[in-house]
Each structure stands twice: as structure tokens, then as C-alpha cells.
Amino acid sequence: MKTRNVTIALDEDTVRWLRVEAARQDTSISKLVASVLRRHIVDDREYEPAMRGFLARPARPLKTQPGYPSRNDLHERADLR
């Protein structure tokens, strides 16, 4: 894959994190940024079909037993005396 050079402006905290993370991964800042962006692209491409598939499924109840606990039941405190 052909690569191209680009110039970006980043705040100091981001640059500091990039330098540390690139050193930790024993890579360059350029390769680290490219890797993060590629991962974002893959995640974005996989998200849409997964969400469409999930939303296309028929709705179903969250649980099979009838009724849900009341608010009081959920927040009942044990007597600590």
C-alpha cells in the first residue's frame, strides 16, 4: 500500500502520549497513528452491518419470568443493627 505524508496539528498532551506510547510499542509515531486510524476504520466498517443485523432481529422480552422487581425491592437495605 502506498503511503503519503501528512501534517497534523496536535495539542501537547496528545503529542506526549503519542511519544510515550510509540516508545512503549517500539514503533514510530507515524506508524502508531496509522495503526490507530486503520483500527478505527475497521471498527467503523464492522459496526454498521452488526448494528443493522441486531436491529433487524425481532424484539424479545428481557426475561422469561413474569414481572420485574419493584423499586423498593431493589433498594431494600439489610438491617445492620
Q: What is the DSSP string of the chain?
A: -----------HHHHHHHHHHHHHTTS-HHHHHHHHHHHHHHHHHHHHHHHHHHHHSPP--S-SSS----HHHHT------
Sequence-separated (6 or more) residues with CB below 8 Å from residue 45: none
Q: What is the pLDDT of residues 16-37, one digit of tens each?
A: 999 999 999 999 999 999 999 9
pLDDT at 80 over 70: no
Q: What is the pLDDT of residues 37-76, one digit of tens each?
A: 999 999 999 999 999 999 999 988 777 777 777 788 788 7
Spatial distance between the Cα atoms of 30 and 10, rounded to a whole number of angstroms:
13
